[in-house]
């Protein structure tokens, strides 16, 4: 029997409309969208009074274990002044966690995402080995812990299995990276194939992709091997690219070209490819990205926290490059904050307001909300990110009486949600039509928070 979700307002084709319904079948797919007057007398109606309903948001780039690092790496004395010194705190966090704690931390990260209206996550997973660098009996044990955490919370997950080979060109091994390393490309591909085959037997809310970490961590021949495998199987391919100037310098030193030049030479810049960060661009890079129709995975809250730099979102959008959004290090988990920061950073850079408004012929709020939804779905090869018949019923609602958006007219509501809404306004979150957050609470919330608190107490206040 289908369910008719009936909010006060529903976002349909970029605008909010009164008296609409969302009909969801037993399989969790949307059957229809229509006017409330069309609902028959025998229908099962779930009335979402006082709420507006929107498609669930997509987080394309997460390292869930780093949720344990929040609050522990904000000291210059302890974590240093830049991205490269911050990594040492992150490495200590990675080395400290047991498999069960990785599950507990991931559940906390995914719970917080759902409370923020995020219904799907691309988990860029690079914890593979034991803390002393040995291989687990099951080489995919830690990936499965993260998947198990996602299934427990109810979030849709694309497990992006990450390749990591070395510390960098000409650099000695870094003991902080021993849990990441799989030195042989054939071994990585075998482990990836094993995991993909297992995921295909799991629920429809779990899928698979590949993630060579970066040009500095994955040398060219290895990258060619795994990229070929990804193209053969049609999986998403995500990669950190041009996050720091030192990465560009290292690429030129090793290969004589910038990262995007090399990726273009290898034929990697396709619709399946998502370049995470893509901040420090050189001549011709935007043209290469646009020609390949890739996606950029921007992570503004993390990029702000790490001092990475500002994404040239205006130039990318003008060139037709799609921009999706990720939380990355989980310093802050808020897809809408990432969306608004795409614009806010440009205002500070150009000393202007509404920099992105009207680009591609679209209103500003609609453009930014697309980055938080549909663009992320395309990056992860998901059918979600919008509300249309035949696709999974992944959505969230907001309380129209919440102080942050109270009094909004339907014509201005999306703008207020994107630019002003607090996470406190989110009331319901559903994946496959199943309510996971109800009245701002998850059924397992207390258990998840307490388990995470135990991990934090064991780790202590600093790493």
Give pLDDT tens digits along the chain (463 positions).
899 999 999 999 899 999 999 999 999 999 999 998 899 888 999 999 999 999 999 999 999 999 999 999 898 887 888 998 999 999 999 999 999 999 999 999 999 999 999 999 999 999 999 999 999 999 999 999 999 999 999 999 999 999 999 999 999 999 999 999 999 999 999 999 999 999 999 999 999 999 999 999 999 999 999 999 999 999 999 999 999 999 999 999 999 999 999 999 999 999 999 999 999 999 999 999 999 999 999 999 999 999 999 999 999 999 999 999 999 999 999 999 999 999 999 999 999 999 999 999 999 999 999 999 999 999 999 999 999 999 999 999 999 999 999 999 999 999 999 999 999 999 999 999 999 999 999 999 999 999 999 999 999 987 7
Nearest to 108 by CA among 56, 63, 149, 161: 149
Nearest to 225 by CA among 171, 184, 172, 254: 184
Domain ranges across the chain = 3-55+385-446
CA atoms within 13 A on the CB side of 45: 16
Q: In what order do the strands lie in the sheet with 273-277?
A: 57-62, 118-125, 156-163, 206-212, 237-241, 273-277, 295-298, 322-325
pLDDT of 1 reads 82
Per-residue pLDDT of 27-57, as tens digits, reads 999 999 999 889 988 899 999 999 999 999 9
| Cα–Cα dist 103/177, whole Å | 20
Q: Which two tokens stand for residue 280?
A: 């420090």
Per-residue pLDDT of 302-334, as tens digits, reads 999 999 999 999 999 999 999 999 999 999 999
* C-beta of residue 251 within 8 angstroms of C-beta of residue 222: no
| Cα–Cα dist 439/181, whole Å | 43
| Cα–Cα dist 393/30, whole Å | 5
Please give the backbone phi and psi of residue 58, each rounded to the nearest 5 degrees, phi first. Answer: -120, 130
**Helix or strand run (H / E) with residue 205:** none
Annotated catalytic, 277? yes
pLDDT of 177 reads 98
State the DSSP string of 66-121.
Answer: GGGGTTSS--HHHH-SSHHHHHHHHHHHHHH--HHHHHHHHHHHHHHHHHTTEEEE
From the candidates 61, 128, 277, 442, which is the catalytic residue?
Answer: 277
Q: Which class for 252: exposed (0-12), middle (13-18), buried (19 or more C-beta within 10 A)?
A: middle
| Cα–Cα dist 339/342, whole Å | 6
Between the alpha carbon of residue 251 and those of residues 146, 215, 259, the distances in Å are: 32, 7, 6
Q: Which class for 255: exposed (0-12), middle (13-18), buried (19 or more C-beta within 10 A)?
A: middle
Annotated catalytic, 231? no
Please give the backbone phi and psi of residue 418, each rounded to the nearest 5 degrees, phi first. Answer: -70, -40
Q: Which residues contact 249 (CB under 8 A, 6 or more apart)?
A: none
Taking residue 265's Cβ as centre, other Cβ atoms within 10 Å add up to 13
pLDDT of 377 reads 98
State the DSSP string of 276-307.
Answer: EE--S--TTHHHHHHHHT-EEEE-HHHHHHHT
From the candidates 59, 264, 328, 334, which is the catalytic residue?
Answer: 328
| Cα–Cα dist 302/15, whole Å | 30
Percent of the chain whose pLDDT exceeds 70: 100
Q: Which residues contact 451 (CB under 8 A, 6 or more apart)?
A: 104, 107, 108
Q: Which two tokens stand for residue 80?
A: 């240093």
* C-beta of residue 8 within 8 angstroms of C-beta of residue 53: no
* C-beta of residue 309 within 8 angstroms of C-beta of residue 85: no
CATH number of 3-55+385-446: 2.30.40.10
Classify the phi-psi angles of 6: left when phi > 0, otherwise alpha if psi is within -120 to 50, otherwise beta.
beta
pLDDT of 261 reads 98
């Amino acid at each position: 029997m289908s369910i008719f979700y009936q909010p006060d307002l529903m976002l349909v084709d970029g605008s909010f409309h009164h008296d609409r319904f969302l009909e969801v079948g037993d399989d969790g797919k949307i059957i229809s969208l229509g006017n409330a007057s069309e609902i028959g007398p025998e229908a099962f109606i779930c009335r979402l009074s006082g709420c507006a309903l929107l498609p669930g948001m997509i987080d394309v780039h997460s390292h869930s274990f780093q949720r344990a690092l929040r609050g522990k790496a904000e000291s210059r004395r302890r974590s240093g002044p830049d991205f490269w010194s911050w990594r040492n705190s992150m490495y200590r966090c990675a080395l400290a966690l047991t498999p069960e704690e990785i599950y507990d931390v991931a559940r906390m990260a995914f719970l917080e995402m759902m409370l923020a209206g995020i219904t799907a996550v691309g988990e860029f997973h690079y914890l593979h080995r034991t803390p002393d660098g040995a291989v687990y009996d099951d080489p995919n044990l830690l990936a499965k812990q993260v998947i198990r955490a996602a299934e427990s919370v109810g979030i849709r997950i694309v497990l992006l299995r990450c390749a990591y080979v070395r510390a960098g060109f000409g650099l000695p091994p870094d003991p902080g990276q021993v849990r990441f390393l799989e030195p042989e490309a054939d071994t990585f591909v075998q482990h990836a194939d094993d995991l993909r085959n297992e995921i295909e037997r799991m629920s429809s809310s779990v899928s698979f992709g590949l993630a060579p970490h970066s040009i500095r961590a994955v040398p060219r021949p290895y990258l060619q091997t795994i990229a070929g495998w990804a193209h053969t199987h049609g999986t998403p391919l995500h990669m950190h690219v041009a996050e720091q100037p030192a990465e560009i310098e290292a690429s030129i030193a090793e290969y004589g070209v910038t990262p995007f030049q090399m990726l273009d030479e290898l034929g990697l810049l396709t619709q399946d490819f998502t370049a995470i960060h893509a901040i420090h661009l050189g001549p011709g890079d935007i043209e290469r990205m646009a020609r390949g129709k890739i996606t950029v995975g921007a992570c503004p809250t993390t990029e702000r926290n790490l001092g990475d730099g500002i994404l040239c979102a205006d130039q990318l959008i003008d060139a037709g490059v799609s921009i999706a959004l990720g939380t990355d290090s989980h310093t802050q988990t808020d897809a809408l904050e990432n969306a608004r920061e795409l614009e806010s950073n440009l205002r500070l850079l150009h000393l202007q307001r509404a920099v992105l408004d009207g680009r591609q012929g679209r209103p500003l709020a609609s453009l930014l909300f697309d980055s938080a939804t549909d663009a992320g779905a395309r990056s992860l090869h998901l059918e979600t990110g919008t509300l249309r018949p035949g696709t999974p019923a992944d959505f969230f609602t907001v309380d129209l009486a919440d102080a942050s958006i109270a009094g909004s007219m339907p014509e201005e509501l999306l703008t207020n949600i994107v630019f002003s809404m607090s996470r406190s306004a989110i009331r319901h979150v559903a994946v496959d039509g199943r309510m996971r957050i109800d009245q701002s609470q998850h059924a397992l919330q207390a258990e998840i928070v307490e388990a995470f608190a135990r991990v934090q107490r064991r780790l202590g206040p600093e790493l």
